[in-house]
């Protein structure tokens, strides 16, 4: 069957259950596509054909024995930030180019237990620091919608692989928008869960109080299948919350759009630099939700001007601490002929880390240093509480908050934005991580250059079921999420 890659996750699970095709056939199909098409996209850092086929065969055997689960035999791509035992795990960095992980991240282990077949590890901005996937040691990943444009970041490889039908779904991570923005740039559905919903064990840390792993796929329904695998308390992650986990697939029709109160923040739609086409598509999608019975409520989010400075103090500060472990001693890159221990540390780190990573380590170190700690870091944490309170106050009168996921569509590769320009592009996503709230991107149309536009819905804590359900209802009534890039339509 040449169209196996056009199936939804539901259709894949049904096809496997009804023996219309085997996991082996499905996996071979994707591996052939990756071999032929990924040369143009560069979404994969490492493809794992032998392991994938072995996992597929094991899945088929389980199914023959009558012991298969819903997702047994379904292929997946993992963002290269998740440790995968026996498989190179690079976080997009030269620092870990030689790192074969000795253990599996909890997310990966849960995927294996569910029977998922690992196709490989996908590209990302180095240590999750970036919004374009150009900051990767392995080179820029291309946006399947236009190969001259970025897929977004840092989960750009995850987004591109799914958008080009080189994986049916993928794991991503989101610290300041790194699931939602690439999902937006590539026409996909991507969910950043509530902080603490998905285990961070084995997920290479960027900013520990902001990082969260989540699903990226073609629809809310597809994401729900993966959320059922990823979510849950993990004793190995002390920030993982012991909250009851919903059955996200069962709950897809649990929230009606009728009567849903959607908050529209005045300040968000007045941001300078909000592209006219993005604004138009987002407003059209909100009108559609209104036609479906939602109530649009104008709200104030007064802390908007504080988002970028607060995030770009806290995240680099936490990163500067987390990245101390990369010192050339126990794993990863080590410089040649170090003359002493300090030289080992300094040259291993400066040769191993790219410029954006070094930049953020420098900002973070400065913000935490003696004499500046209170003025910068503690001040930012106080403002962080005000940002959280600003959202919680809004949720007293609305059920979800709507925004674009990004002020623009996918940039050109090599556009060479300054750091400040790049950081301002994160305005709609970063506050959600500061507050720890869940948020989802849904594709809602295209700009005049046929680049995808995304709508972001932000929910209150633990409301992932509601977010997935609202997007599912929208996707039953529209077809933006079914559109495919030309390169995805190619056969292998």
Interactions with other proteins, residue window 456-485 (CB under 8 A): 461
Rounded CA-CA distance 290/254 in Å is 18
- Residue number with CB closer to other proteins (71 or 383): 383
First to last CA, the chain: 11
Least distance from C-beta 281 to other proteins, angstroms? 25
- Among positions 230-269, residues that touch other proteins (CB under 8 A) are 235, 238-239, 241
- Residue number with CB closer to other proteins (81 or 380): 380
Least distance from C-beta 194 to other proteins, angstroms? 8
Indicate the SS3 state at residue 399.
coil
Taking CA atoms, 286 is separated from 106, 231, 260, in Å, by 37, 29, 12
Is 32 near other proteins (CB under 8 A)? no
In the list 69, 251, 295, 388, the residue contacting other proteins (rule: CB under 8 A) is 388
- Among positions 181-210, residues that touch other proteins (CB under 8 A) are 194-196, 208-209
Is 385 near other proteins (CB under 8 A)? yes
CB 118 within 8 A of CB 160: no
In the list 330, 371, 396, 448, the residue contacting other proteins (rule: CB under 8 A) is 330
Contact track, other proteins, 84-123, x by CB under 8 A = --------------xxxxxx--------------------
Tokens of 323: 């990245």
Rounded CA-CA distance 72/110 in Å is 12
Least distance from C-beta 386 to other proteins, angstroms? 6
Taking CA atoms, 179 is separated from 175, 301, 350, in Å, by 8, 23, 28
Rounded CA-CA distance 461/207 in Å is 19
The region of 163-171, 252-260, 261-269, 319-327 touching other proteins under the rule CB under 8 A is: 319-327
Q: Taking the CB of residue 28, how many other CB atoms lie within 10 A of it?
A: 18
- Residue number with CB closer to other proteins (436 or 443): 436
Is 69 near other proteins (CB under 8 A)? no
Is 419 near other proteins (CB under 8 A)? yes
Nearest partner of 387 among 347, 333, 427, 336, judged by Cα = 427
Cα dihedral sign for 305, 429, 181, 153? positive
Is 371 near other proteins (CB under 8 A)? no
- Residue number with CB closer to other proteins (350 or 482): 350
Rounded CA-CA distance 80/121 in Å is 5
- Among positions 289-308, residues that touch other proteins (CB under 8 A) are 305-306, 308
Rounded CA-CA distance 160/44 in Å is 9
Q: Which residues are catalytic?
A: 79, 154, 178
In the list 54, 113, 341, 477, the residue contacting other proteins (rule: CB under 8 A) is 341
- Residue number with CB closer to other proteins (103 or 446): 103
Nearest partner of 119 among 199, 39, 55, judged by Cα = 55
Is 382 near other proteins (CB under 8 A)? yes
Residue by residue, DSSP assigns 90-132 as -TTSGGGTT-B-SS--HHHHHHHHTT-EEEEEE--SGGG--SS
Is 276 near other proteins (CB under 8 A)? no
In the list 2, 65, 339, 371, the residue contacting other proteins (rule: CB under 8 A) is 339
- Residue number with CB closer to other proteins (244 or 479): 244
Indicate the SS3 state at residue 373.
helix
Least distance from C-beta 54 to other proteins, angstroms? 20
């Amino acid at each position: 069957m040449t169209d196996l890659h056009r199936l939804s996750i539901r259709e894949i699970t049904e096809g496997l259950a009804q023996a219309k095709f085997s996991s082996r056939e499905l996996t071979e199909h994707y591996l052939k596509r990756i071999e032929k098409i990924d040369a143009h996209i560069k979404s994969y850092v490492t493809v794992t054909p032998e392991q994938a086929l072995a996992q597929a065969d094991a899945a088929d055997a389980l199914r023959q024995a009558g012991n298969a689960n819903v997702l047994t035999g379904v292929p997946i791509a993992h963002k290269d930030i998740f440790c995968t035992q026996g498989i190179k795990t690079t976080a997009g960095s030269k620092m870990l180019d030689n790192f074969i992980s000795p253990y599996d991240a909890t997310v990966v282990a849960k995927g294996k237990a569910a029977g998922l077949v690992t196709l490989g590890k996908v590209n990302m901005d180095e240590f999750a620091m970036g919004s374009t996937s150009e900051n990767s040691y392995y080179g820029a990943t291309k946006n399947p919608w236009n190969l001259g444009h970025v897929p977004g970041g840092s989960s750009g490889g995850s987004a591109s692989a799914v958008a080009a039908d080189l994986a049916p779904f993928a794991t991503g991570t989101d610290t300041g928008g790194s699931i939602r923005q690439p999902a937006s740039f590539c026409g996909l559905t991507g969910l950043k869960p509530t902080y603490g919903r998905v285990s961070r064990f084995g997920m290479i840390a960027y900013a520990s109080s902001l990082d969260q792993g989540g699903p990226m796929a073609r629809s809310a329904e597809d994401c729900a299948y993966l959320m059922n695998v990823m979510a849950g308390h993990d004793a190995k992650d002390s920030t993982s919350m012991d909250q009851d986990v919903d059955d996200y697939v069962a709950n897809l029709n649990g929230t009606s759009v009728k009567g849903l109160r959607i908050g529209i923040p005045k300040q968000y739609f007045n941001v300078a630099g909000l592209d006219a086409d993005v604004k138009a598509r987002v407003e059209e999608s909100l009108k559609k939700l209104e036609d479906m019975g939602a109530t649009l409520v104008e709200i104030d989010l007064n802390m908007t001007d504080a988002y970028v400075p607060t995030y770009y103090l806290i995240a680099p500060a936490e990163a500067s601490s987390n990245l101390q472990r990369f010192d050339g001693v126990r794993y990863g890159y080590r410089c040649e002929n170090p003359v002493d221990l300090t030289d080992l540390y300094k040259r291993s780190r400066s040769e191993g880390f790219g410029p954006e990573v070094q930049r953020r380590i420098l900002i973070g170190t400065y913000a935490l240093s003696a004499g500046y700690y209170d003025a910068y870091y503690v001040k930012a944490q106080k403002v962080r509480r005000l940002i959280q309170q600003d959202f919680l106050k809004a949720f007293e009168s609305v059920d979800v908050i709507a925004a674009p996921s990004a002020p623009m569509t996918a940039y050109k590769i090599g556009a060479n934005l300054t750091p400040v320009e790049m950081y301002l592009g994160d305005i709609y996503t970063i506050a959600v991580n500061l507050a720890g709230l869940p948020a989802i991107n849904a594709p809602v149309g295209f700009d005049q250059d046929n680049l995808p536009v995304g709508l972001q819905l932000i929910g209150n804590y633990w409301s992932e079921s509601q977010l997935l359900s609202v997007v599912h209802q929208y996707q039953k009534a529209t077809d933006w999420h079914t559109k495919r890039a030309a390169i995805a339509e190619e056969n292998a």
